[in-house]
Amino acid sequence: MKIGYEAKRIFHNKSGLGNYGRDLIRSLSKYYPINEYYLYNPKKGKEILFSSENINTVEKLPFSLFHRLFKNIWRQKGVIKDLLKDNILIFHGLSGELPTGINKIKSVVTIHDLIFVRYPEYYSFFDRKIHLLKVSKAAKNADTIIAVSEQTKRDIIEFLGEDEHKIKVVYQTCHNAFKKTYSDKEKKEVCEKYNLPKKFLLNVGTIEERKNAKTIVKAIKDINISLVLIGKETKYTESIKKYIKNNSLEDRVMFFKNINTRELAIIYQLASIFIYPSVFEGFGIPIIEALYSKTPVITNENGVFPEVGGPDSIYVDPFNVKDLKNKINLILSDLSLKEKMIDNGFLFAQKFSNKNMADQTISIYQNLIKNK
């Protein structure tokens, strides 16, 4: 079976949607090597973000000179000719988009979230309109929609009006680096490289208003522990730094970005607690990364977070500073609770495995071919 993928983010995005695509293709090529996986990339990447050990994975660039010059036209429509030429049976849009004319081929689209509809205040007017236009069109034209969580499935039904029987929930996994155990020597090297404190809280993700990292900073003001924030900075970061300065927390809050995956995985394993007070997510991969890293998790009590964090993570109102402070102190002071959270959280994380994701996705493809 030849399966095609919209692969721009696989080759160009270092996190988020890029990670999703890379993890999915690696899993499929490993567990179902009999198939051929064609990755349609509008242009060569500036650096190597994806490579496959299997010969069944092929990168495909625009065939014609016109489409090599006008890459967006190729992605939006021109790629259909290449799909037909390559005898692709199924095309999978990995990031909420499908090209015009896809009705000539069976199609699947993954929708990660509809945050731009649920929380429009975090997006510009034009971004909201463009996102909604693309995802609505893709959902309507796809033969099957993959939602990355039950929360996203509910949102697709509510905001896009799609039939629930057309939507299948397939959970994501995380990079294998977070599933490895690192030696004391490796941990020490990373600790020294980044001058990390002996004990610290960790938050990972773009430092933007929706992710709500400022609540963590406020919560540790009267706790004798450090905080490490890892992620791309935005204008919102300035308000955090202003609060840090006004409350003399400069020595206890550290900012990092562009850390490679292996070192990030080690930092997860070094952290005392992972805290993720995001207002809303379609899934929340950092939570899975923490659970696999055997690091206890505190996160939002609403939305997708209990679905991803499981019964043994601790949940809070994401804006309740006092409650978050109390929960941090509880975990730091109760070793048996912390061990229970680590052990049970790690067991819960196994449902988000590479094989489960591959099995469920292949089942969707097979059903499409069967009903062709």
Domains in the chain: ranges and CATH: 2-173+353-370 (3.40.50.2000), 176-351 (3.40.50.2000)
Structure tokens at 38: 């064609």
Is the entire prediction scored with pTM above 0.75?
yes
What amino acid occupies position 151? Answer: Q
By C-alpha distance, which of 205, 203, 113 is closest to 156? Answer: 113
Question: Where on the phi/psi map is residue 275: left (φ > 0), alpha (ψ -120 to 50), or beta?
Answer: beta
Neighbours of 336 (CB within 10 A): 7
Q: Are the CB atoms for 339 and 115 separated by under 8 Å? A: no
The torsion angles phi and psi of 147, rounded to 5 degrees, stand at -105, 140
Please report, in tens digits, the pLDDT of each residue of the chain (372 residues total): 999 999 999 999 887 888 899 999 999 999 999 999 999 999 988 888 887 667 799 999 998 889 989 999 999 999 999 999 999 999 999 999 999 999 989 999 999 999 999 989 888 899 999 999 999 999 999 999 999 999 999 999 999 999 999 999 999 999 999 999 999 999 999 999 999 999 999 999 999 999 999 999 999 999 999 999 999 999 999 999 999 999 999 999 999 998 999 999 999 999 999 999 999 999 999 999 999 999 999 999 999 999 999 999 999 999 999 999 999 999 999 999 999 999 999 999 999 999 999 999 999 999 999 876
Residue-level pLDDT at 372? 65
**38 contacts: CB under 8 Å, gap ≥ 6:** 2, 3, 4, 5, 58, 60, 86, 88
Residue-level pLDDT at 53? 67
250: which DSSP letter? T
What amino acid occupies position 287? Answer: I
159: which DSSP letter? I
- Cα–Cα separations (whole angstroms), residue 168 to 95, 151, 160: 15, 12, 15
Q: Are the CB atoms for 275 and 203 separated by under 8 Å? A: yes
**51 contacts: CB under 8 Å, gap ≥ 6:** none
Residue-level pLDDT at 45? 80
